[in-house]
Amino acid sequence: MSKVNVKFFGAAIEAAKRKPETEVQARNVRELLNTLSEQFGESFKQRMLDATGKPQPFVNIFVNDKDIRHLELLETELKDGDEVLILPAVAGG
Amino acid sequence: MGLVQALRCRRCNNRLQPTKEISCPKCFAPLDAYYDYDSIALSHDSFDFRPRTLWRYAELLPIEDVSNAVDLNAGFTPLHRCRNLEKFLGLKELHIKNDGVNPTNSFKDRPASVAVSKAIEFHLNAVGAVSTGNLAAAVGAHAAKAGLPCYIFIPEGIESGKIAQIESFGPRILSVRGNYDDANRLAYLASELYGWAIANVTMRPYYVEGSKTIAFEVCEQLAWDPPDHIIVAVGSGALMRATWKGLNEFEQLDLVKDGSTSIHGAQAAGCAPVADAFEKGKETIQPIANPNTLAKSIAIGDPGDGTYAIQVARATGGTIGKVSDPEIRDAIRLLAAKEGIFAEPAGAVTIALLKDLINNGQIHPDESVVCFVTGNGLKSVEAVQSDATQWYSLEPSLQALKKFNAIA
């Protein structure tokens, strides 16, 4: 298990019970979201994952500034000291 | 005085007070501004003596006191009837909406004007943008006019003409060593950490309201009879959705008949995640890590409104297609040579796609079409390198001139 730092932004802070930052032990992003769901409850899980267990369309997750959609999605491995950002999809354009 | 009644979630219809929220707290989806349409009384005559800017549609813009608007006269750009191109393409009716003549030479002056005005209404003390160039100039100019500090996040590889224009407005430029999506993420984080009003992020629900005015103008300029087809460039997809919202609002207010306009989106093949998803029948966009096209203004690998652009295409009987860089370059030259309009690559994608849509029968020769040209060609002269070998070089003498005339 790796110890990673998770930071929430925007509406994601509300989902994390107004906690902007936390530390989690997890081997990959899937485990990380499961652990966070245990910590913050069912409503957090529903905001992060759809009924089939895939990330919700308007949630963006970055591991060390890389979008997990360009990595291995929920199977993206985590190492000690990694920084994970969870934020609403940012529109731009 | 546009009075926003509520912000509404596009996905779950959650209604919120019109505040600085940018995403739904329940499902994180984007929010849109909605007005009390029943209380808005507008007729065709209402517009007779109004300013020839986007502020002529004040009731449908999210600013409470329009006299405080930051106004560089954006909007009410020309709609050109293109008889030469009609003949060339075998089309009955073609118009170009030339938004390259806006104050900073792109359609982005529309949303920038609204976003900076709204930031002032919210008493925010700095504005900004994340941009491939056009929005940066637009927000930079409006911030300069408003006397507000401005922070511009740009990715690598922006055209030098755009950089020169942006710098002249005096913003603080943060040059991100990455692509547009990297710059976008940092701009969002800055807005969260420092409270800056990043026009296309923090001010998003209000910002896009400026863009829809292009659709209002097209209706008005076509004597309240919208065309059969509108073709829009798609980067984030926001303009395509805003165009649809604009048409819907005019229908709701009985200013135009219930719509039969098909809205089509045009992407560059080197960055076409929305067109690819549309072609595969999907709604979820697979982002592109490394966009590669000369149409830099629409080189957005992770388009925030891509899903909604697809919904608009499907709801209106439109399509989302992609065109190659050589096709875009040809379209720039064609539009300039036939109609005297010099477009940037992202502006010319609509002309390139129009050719395809006519060729494959999706647009019938008897139908009417409006193509948006969203940016001026001087923004990216690199795209059409001059070819001096085609010039006639001569000595500065009468004899040399006569020699040319003899062979010409």
> What pLDDT shows up at residue B2?
64
Closest Cα of chain B to A70: distance in Å? 7
Largest CA distance in chain B: 79
Taking the complete model, does pTM exceed 0.90, yes or no?
A: yes
Q: Please tell me the predicted confidence (pLDDT) of residue B278.
A: 98
Contacting residues of B for A62, CB less than 8 Å apart: 185
Distance in Å, alpha carbon of A60 to nearest chain B alpha carbon: 10
pLDDT tens digits, chain B, 408 residues: what are they? 568 989 999 999 999 999 988 899 999 999 999 999 999 999 999 999 999 999 999 999 999 999 889 999 999 999 999 999 999 999 999 999 999 999 999 999 999 999 999 999 999 999 999 998 999 999 999 999 999 999 999 998 888 889 999 999 999 999 999 988 899 999 999 999 999 999 999 899 999 999 999 999 999 999 999 999 999 999 999 999 999 999 999 999 999 998 799 999 999 999 999 999 999 999 889 999 899 999 999 999 999 899 999 999 999 999 999 999 999 999 999 999 999 999 999 999 999 999 999 999 999 999 999 999 999 999 999 898 777 888 999 999 999 999 998 887
Burial (CB count <10 Å: 0-12, 13-18, 19+), residue B296:
buried
Contacts of B28 in chain A (CB under 8 A): 11-12, 47, 56, 58-59, 88-89
Whether residue A48 is contained in a domain is answered as yes
A51 is a domain residue: yes
> Quick check: is A64 in a domain?
yes
**Domain residue limits at A60:** 2-88
List strands edge to edge, sheet with B4-9. Answer: B15-16, B4-9, B31-35
What residues of B are in the A interface, CB distance below 8 Å? 11, 21-30, 130, 180-182, 184-185, 187-189, 192, 200-201, 204, 235-238, 284, 286-287, 289, 300, 302-305, 307
Facing residue for A93 by CB, picked from B27, B189, B304: B304
The Cβ of residue B217 has, within 10 Å, a number of other Cβ atoms equal to 23
Q: Strands A2-8 and A83-88, how do they pair?
A: parallel
Integer Cα distance of B145 and B218 in angstroms: 28
> What is the spatial distance between Cα B348 and Cα A47, in angstroms, rounded to a whole number?
40
Would the CB atoms of A91 and B304 count as touching at under 8 Å? yes
- The minimum CA-CA distance between A36 and chain B, rounded to whole Å, is 17
* Domain-located, residue A93: no
Give the residue among B23, B28, B308 at the shortest CA–CA distance from A49.
Answer: B28
Query: Structure tokens of B246?
Result: 């604009």
Q: Is residue A46 part of a domain?
A: yes
What's residue A78's pLDDT?
98
In chain A, the number of structural domains is 1
Residue where the block lists tokens 């005005």 = B117
d(CA B238, CA B32): 11
> Taking a contact as any Cβ pair under 8 Å apart, which residues of chain A between 25 and 84 contact chain B?
47, 56-60, 62, 65, 67, 69-70
Q: What ipTM was assigned to the predicted interfaces of this complex?
A: 0.93
Query: Looking at the partner chain, which of A47, A70, A88 has a beta carbon nearest the beta carbon of B289?
Result: A70
CATH number for position A29: 3.10.20.30
Q: Is residue A26 part of a domain?
A: yes
Shortest Cα distance, chain A CAs vs residue B399, angstroms? 55
Residue A90 has pLDDT above 80, yes or no: no
Q: Which residues of A touch B201 (CB under 8 A)?
A: 90-92
Give the angle subtended at the CA of B27 by the CAs of B23 and B29, to the nearest 5°: 40
* Closest of B167, B54, B59 to residue B111, by C-alpha: B54
Classify the C-alpha dihedral A87-B185-B289-B238 as positive or negative: positive
Among the listed residues B141, B79, B82, B88, the one whose alpha carbon sits nearest the alpha carbon of residue B115: B141
